[in-house]
Structure 1
Amino acid sequence: MLIASAAVAYALVLGGAGWAGAATASTAELKRAPAASVVTSTPTPTPTVEVRAVPAAAPGPSRLRTCSVAGPASDGRLQQFQAQVVNASTGEVLYDRGGGTASRTASVLKVLTSAAALSVLGPDYRMSTRVVRGTEPGQVVLVGGGDVTLSRTPSGDESTYSGAPHLDELARQVRAAWDADPATAGTPITSVVTDASYFSGDAWEPSWNRKELYDGYMPQITALMVDGDRENPYRSTSPRGEDPVGRAGWAFADALGGGPSVVSGTAPAGAAVLGQVYSQPVSTLVQQTLIVSDNTIAEGLARVTAIEAGAGSSFSSLQQGITSGLSAYGLDTSQLRIADGSGLSGNNAVPPSYLTSLFVKVMNKEANLWPLYDGLPISGQTGSLSYSDRFSGDSSRADGAVHAKTGWIDDGYTLSGIIYAADGTPLTFAIYALGDVSDSAKQAIDALTAAFWDCGNNLSNL
């Protein structure tokens, strides 16, 4: 039996091998074979296979974050509350309350003005104030170039703007050039013409409250002024005047000596330059405006940025000028509404989400943004975040960890910047407290910011 079975199996194998050999013969070999030897057969139908869509892999479970800030976020002092917090390392939005809605920013807008200036002008750009020869004998023209820090204090005597250029140095240059020219040597300078034509349009933004002038927070914005048009050049907050160009002209006439008259006008084209002084570089001006929220520098930077961006020289040019500068950072500017450079106007509008995105770039010091980072106040340590009413009491646990720009107008308090959280996570954030707010909104904002610091990457959106 075993022998017979083996024989049958062997025959089957040989038969299968022979069929396989015939099936694999080349086409040429089939053509050479006699017709009678070609075996035809009905092909076996190919079975129909139903192809079903393979479901996409299910996404991995989101991290369950458990650190809630519901308590401080519900503080009534925040009024109309908006906020967003982003993990700056991953870009993940951890917390959002109206983050995509554009609203007034108060002085946080200075962050956008500074970023645009650093993009358009660059950190090394300096504004100049020139004196040129006039059209009449004994006449010189003082030409403003947008430097609001130019000082009437004596050289070596610092005004509120450290490192600012001084009128007495400009006067010294002019007298030296005047006396060195045989055509004017020995003759007096009898007339000073003030030229502020570098800026155009209104000197006062229509939506600003006029009390800001008299309370000492904002001057009329002109291309020629001294000490931000302060009555007291040594104080950051000091009443401003009704004629900043005239104040600068008379201060320069005093520095020249000899009692020249002062009139307004424009410089003749191609006039010889008799003297010139320069502002601090934009990198320094940005830090000076951010650290104490200086409105005057912010407006000067905004206007010069718009001019150099080709947008124009008036308030109405700032929308195009500032957004043009910001476009270099690759963020969507379509929701931005820019009425001024300082944030004093309630007509400005910026979504918190724009700020959290921009601050990621600031934190990483991309492009020319390093002066902006370096100029931010630090909680409990520098600038407007070191005042006695900021990050005080229990909120002081976040001292040194918050680098942010403050904001305040009559109907809003804001804070936006970077938090180095307790767990080491870098966060970017923006908080708006808008509406019928009081000064105590600052403490509510600080308490919420400190809670963000506590939570870090475990911050819950609930």
Structure 2
Amino acid sequence: MFALLGTGAVVASAATGAPAPLRPAAAGSSTSTTTSTPAPSEAPPPARPVPTAATAASPLRTCSVADLAADPRLANFQAQVVNATTGEVLFDRGGDTPSRTASVLKVLTSAAALRVLGPDYRATTTVVAGSAPGSVVLVGGGDLTLSRTPSGEESVYAGAAHLDQLADQTIAAWQADPANPPLTSLILDSSLFGGPGWDPSWDRKELSDGYMPEITALQVDGDRDNPSRSTSARSGDPVGRAGAAFADELGGGVSVSRGTAPAGARQLASVQSQPVSTLIQQSLTVSDNALAEMLARLVAVKSGAGNTFESLQQSTVAGLAPYGLDTSGILIADGSGLSDDNAVPPSYLTRLFIKINAREGNLGVIFDGLPVAGGPSGSLSYSDRFTGENAVADGAVFAKTGWIDTGYTLSGIIHAADGTPLTFAVYALGDVSDNAKQALDTITAGFFRCGDNLSNT
């Protein structure tokens, strides 16, 4: 019975899962102890990643100009708009692609001139004694504004020096020395600028249409037929025109030839141009090509890069370097922007105009020369600019215009409707016509309306 009861207890224990009772050890036997192995503990879960800093919120901008950017009049459209206070790019269409700028390039030429020449630099035209008896040398100093109009009468370049002033000084200095023979010979020295005077990429019709002269260090009135008109046909020989006009001021009866001044020659007379600061503003306001080329060539000479068109890439880019902006990809073929071979990305212009808007260094000179939409003068005051609904931006767009046969451009500063200062550059390139100007005005007025709410989509 004891055996049966013990077996039943074991069975019951197994059935219920309860531990079976231990049997008493037999006399004289050793007792063994069973040690149970503890269950392995679980590894703690990995720590959840925590951002080092909270992600800054960005505004959801809802003001779109996408339909304006799709205007077919803009052809191959490139643009960039930047908040000038924060530096944030608000709108971009190919903004980093270097492309031809047309006359907007004058902004770069002006910025380089302010760095290399300085705002107070003046170009000087001189007369020195020649090596032969009775001869004087008229030495061009690169002043394309020197005027053949009578003193007291303004040419298209207000405040320009006059040939009659130079002639009066020359005659007085010559006659002051009793040993001098009669003045019989005039030599013209235009060697400060190297040839050719016409860039191969320019359309020759610009000369006859009155937009560009041959670039020589000696000429008068930008070689215009009419010194009082901004757009006036130019001659094929600006040095000869200047020489003939000066010979007349000397009283006539002198022979005219070309050469160079002897080293160390005695100076008889000199006159100076307006300062660079004035020349820049005159150039930008009406987009004067001759002045821009004058400044670019003087930058090249002063920097030691050379005195030809080929030297402008080196001298202009080097002149821009101190502004601290990336100039990679910029190509400079001339100073005026007339060449298709120039290339500047819109993004460079928006960054440069941030500095212009802040008047860094002497860059306020450029701001003060920019045409103003609806302004009293300049290339944005014309009757076909910022008209109709675009007139909403009158007085708030300060920008340089540009036009060549293969593109229209506009770049500058917008004081937007919401008070945000914007910098912008817009290019309409390729198969364009005159109505591209109105399309550029329209999208610029769109930027004005949107301000900091401008969307990139």
Residue segments in structure 1 that go unaligned for 5+ positions in a row: 1-46
Report whether the alignment pairs 1:456 with 2:451: yes
Partner Cα distance (1:82, 1:51) in 2: 48
State the match for 1:432 in structure 2: 427
Q: Which moved more, 1:351-360 or 1:49-58?
A: 49-58
Report 1:53-68 matches (<5 A).
54-68=50-64
Partner Cα distance (1:287, 1:422) in 2: 27
State the match for 1:88 in structure 2: 84
State the match for 1:336 in structure 2: 330
Report 1:392-403 matches (<5 A).
392-403=387-398
State the match for 1:249 in structure 2: 243
State the match for 1:158 in structure 2: 154
Partner Cα distance (1:141, 1:244) in 2: 17
In percent, how many aligned pairs have the same letter? 69
Offset of residue 442 of structure 1 = 0.3
Report whether the alignment pairs 1:359 with 2:353: yes
Deviations 1:70-120 (A, max 9, x none): 121111100000000000000000000000000000000000000000010
> What is the aligned counterpart of 1:129 among 119, 125, 138?
125
> What is the aligned counterpart of 1:111 among 95, 99, 107?
107
Partner Cα distance (2:162, 2:212) in 1: 21
Report whether the alignment pairs 1:304 with 2:298: yes
Report whether the alignment pairs 1:239 with 2:233: yes
State the match for 1:203 in structure 2: 197
Q: Is the 8 A contact 1:189 1:258 kept in 2?
A: no
Partner Cα distance (1:55, 1:124) in 2: 55
In structure 1, what residue type is equivalent to 2:182? P
Q: Residue 379 of structure 2 aligns to a residue in which SS?
A: helix
Partner Cα distance (2:305, 2:269) in 1: 29
Q: TM-score, normalised by structure 2?
A: 0.89
Deviations 1:221-255 (A, max 9, x none): 00000000011111111111111001001100001
Report 1:361-376 matches (<5 A).
361-376=355-370
Equivalent residues, number: 414
Q: Is the 8 A contact 1:420 1:453 kept in 2?
A: yes
Partner Cα distance (1:297, 1:453) in 2: 31
Q: TM-score, normalised by structure 1?
A: 0.88
Structure whose CA Rg is larger = 2
Residue segments in structure 2 that go unaligned for 5+ positions in a row: 1-42
Offset of residue 269 of structure 1 = 0.2
Q: Is the 8 A contact 1:188 1:258 kept in 2?
A: no
> What is the aligned counterpart of 2:169 among 173, 194, 218?
173
Q: Which moved more, 1:300-309 or 1:51-60?
A: 51-60
State the match for 1:22 in structure 2: none
Offset of residue 182 of structure 1 = 2.5
In structure 2, what residue type is equivalent to 1:249? G
> What is the aligned counterpart of 2:260 among 259, 266, 280?
266
Q: Residue 260 of structure 2 aligns to a residue in which SS?
A: coil
Deviations 1:326-351 (A, max 9, x none): 01111011111000000000000000
> What is the aligned counterpart of 2:312 among 302, 318, 331?
318
In structure 1, what residue type is equivalent to 2:247? A
State the match for 1:147 in structure 2: 143
Offset of residue 310 of structure 1 = 1.4
Deviations 1:194-232 (A, max 9, x none): 000001131100000000001110000000000000111
